Copies of this chain bind each other. A is one copy, B any other.
Amino acid sequence: MTAGPGPGDAAGRPRPEERGPLAGVRVLDLTRILAGPFATAKLADMGATVWKVERPDGGDDTRAWGPPFHAGVSTYFLAVNRGKRSLALDLKRGDAVLERLVRAADVVVENFRPGTLEKLGWTWARLQAVNPRAVLCSISGYGQVGRDRDRPSYDVIAQGEQGPQDLTGDPDGPPTKFGLSIADLTAGQLAVEGILLALLRRERTGRGDRVDVALADGLLALLTYQAQMWLSCGQAPRRLGNAHPSIVPYQAFRARDGWLNVGVGNEALWATFCRALGRPDWATRPGWATNRERVERREEVVAAVAEVLAGEDVAAWLERLGAAGVPAGPIRGVPEALTLAREDARGMVTDVPHEGLGDVPMVGNPVKLESLGLDPAYGPAPRLGEHTDEVLAAAGLAPDEVAALRAAGVVA
């Protein structure tokens, strides 16, 4: 990737707010916890100016979540709030302020329970009247419309209700939650998608739009081919542990000193794989030659492969399989994965300077744009209320108005 214009940071890395595709886009961010902040952090990474509205008494709940803390700051909060501007505002007493902010924003994002924003006085009709160009994105468990609208939800509830938990784990064991908060994170990604779609539409129509994202919907959409086999043919997908329903071998195996994954996705690879195992005869063995046969004799094929793989270390197998071109890889813990990412050139672990904390190593944004570079200079996560004056000034409030609001405890 080549560097373009723009002063960038001290190290010459481009700043998203100068060079990012969303430079100049203002996001009024009423979200907290995970799904919403993950979405707005992605917008900030791409250059948007994100005004994070927080309760004056403590701010986003996750500021208190820990240990662990990084020099007193919650690592949970750090992970999904970089590059934002924090405004401490009491929403219940700050309606006039909120109206100024809405008027000045391109995007409003919230992840309250459905109906909460309306109770605060902000119906979609009012929002459109105040700012017809504004995009409103709401993230919730079950959406703004529909049977379960008013039910509370959490990531684990969504994973259980929509199928993923039942599809994960050993076939003879219990349903198993995925170890990442995938319902929240997927909803966050879909919120970004909806906001970008609405902004693109606005280029044509001049009007904002309303985006409604639900944790439940997001997981259903990830079912893809597993959903379609049931919808079309009435076949229920089922959990298979570390194996694949229709490819053998394509799964985790235990080597002498740890685990590795092997993916033998076609017949040519099967022959290569057999040679790498030192069993070239298996490639033509009757009943094992085609994937269809191997799926039918899954137990016997997997047991035979497992026995050979158990005889040597992971590193030895990876070297041999890698040289042969058979897709294979280790099973790494998070520390090892991040250490390797840090040593690579893709900017997936990068230092973000924070006043008072020094350089905080963070995971980079995975959307790599040539125009922004692999490793731009992301902004720090804000202290509570750090940008109250700046944001209110940008929304057109005079210093004496801000002083009065602060004296009244509406902002902090």
Contacts and interface: CB of A to CB of B under 8 A. Distances in A.
A79 B196 CA distance: 24
A263 B156 contact: yes
Interface in A227-257: 227-233, 235-242, 244, 246, 250-252, 254
Interface string A194-214: 101111110100000111111
Interface residue range, chain A? 35 or more
A225 B190 contact: no
Nearest to A192: B193
Given A143-B346, A148-B344, A363-B220, A334 B236 contact: yes
Interface hub of A67, A145, A263, A366 (most chain B Cβ within 10 A): A366
A391 to B, nearest CB: 23
Contact of A75 (B124, B203, B228): B228
Given A213-B368, A344-B148, A363-B220, A232 B193 contact: no
Contacts of A364: 217, 220-221
A306 B157 CA distance: 17
A93 interface: no
Nearest to A362: B231
Interface in A320-365: 322, 325, 327-335, 337-338, 341, 343-346, 348-349, 360-365
Interface hub of A161, A164, A194, A238 (most chain B Cβ within 10 A): A161
Given A157-B327, A332-B163, A221 B370 contact: no
Interface hub of A22, A199, A216, A368 (most chain B Cβ within 10 A): A368
A250 B154 contact: yes
A148 B337 CA distance: 13
Contacts of A76: 225, 228-229
A197 B22 contact: yes
Interface in A280-332: 322, 325, 327-332
Given A21-B200, A46-B197, A160-B252, A227 B331 contact: no
A331 B175 contact: yes
Nearest to A71: B232
A1 B348 CA distance: 39
Given A156-B251, A368-B212, A227 B363 contact: yes
A85 interface: no
Contacts of A146: 344-346
A366 B332 CA distance: 32
Contact of A366 (B174, B175, B213, B322): B213
B174 A259 contact: yes
A279 interface: no
Given A151-B322, A162-B337, A346-B145, A232 B68 contact: yes
Contacts of A370: 124, 209-212
Contacts of A165: 242, 252, 261, 331
A131 interface: no
A371 interface: yes
Interface string A124-158: 10000000000000000001011110011110111
**Which A-B residue pairs are the 4 nearest by beta carbons?**
A167-B179, A21-B201, A70-B232, A79-B228
